[in-house]
Amino acid sequence: MRFSGKVALVTGAGSGIGQAIAVRLASEGAVVVGSDINGVGLEETAEMMGEDAAFYPQVSDVRSRDACYELVESTVADRGRLDVLCNVAGVARGHRVGDVDQEVWDLIMGVNVEGVFWMSQAALPHLESSNGSIVNIASNAGLMGQAYTVPYCASKGAVVLMTKAMAMETMKTGMRINAIAPGGVETNLAAAFGFPENPDMELMGRYMGMRGMAQAEDIASLVAYVASDDAHRIHGSVLSIDGGMTAG
């Protein structure tokens, strides 16, 4: 019960990693506000919770600065405080560079970059007051170049350096900001990724991973540790959980 008496806000809580994180934090005593653009997914998350879990779904689009501020402010107003922010909402698409259009670029950057920034900006004053924690979901794609995923790599690389830069700016406070960088995870996002027709498998082989894909619950376990007081010395870190994919 590491999160007993604490309030956690998890974006992307309607599926995949965000759903697993919401369930895990609630199982350890957190009051969890879960947001997603997909209301049906949030209902599924609520059904996965135990009877004693405190889970409050909120349909919201992290691409909107106003929506992010409204989500944070309503969480604090309704639940009394904010201790943990998990920026999980994300989208991924596979394209050759020449096939990326404005709509795809804006979608990936809007969710993966702007969403993380606006949510963090809105939450920072409350987390400084509670000596709380931000955990951003980055990716191995933010640490290494990957063919056919240039916008996604760019977005997750931005998450990595946003994490480090915000950690430096909050160094004199009691709060912590970290990122988790998974490799492949068996989620709907991964299943729907979609590579371009006839990809060069030699280009892709280096980042396919020799130990298979993780489960969303594997990522949730690490997030629960990093967000907890057990990890009080971890600040400004980007922790890989990729089966050794980025080891060499």
Active site residues: 152
Question: Containing H/E element for 133?
Answer: strand 133-137
Q: Are 227 and 133 spatial neighbours (Cβ–Cβ below 8 Å)?
A: yes
| b/e map 71-83, b = 16+ CB within 10 Å | bbeebbeebeebb
Nearest to 16 by CA among 34, 2, 29: 34
Burial of 197 (0-12, 13-18, 19+ CB in 10 A): exposed
What's the rounded Cα separation, in Å, for the pair 66 and 16? 25
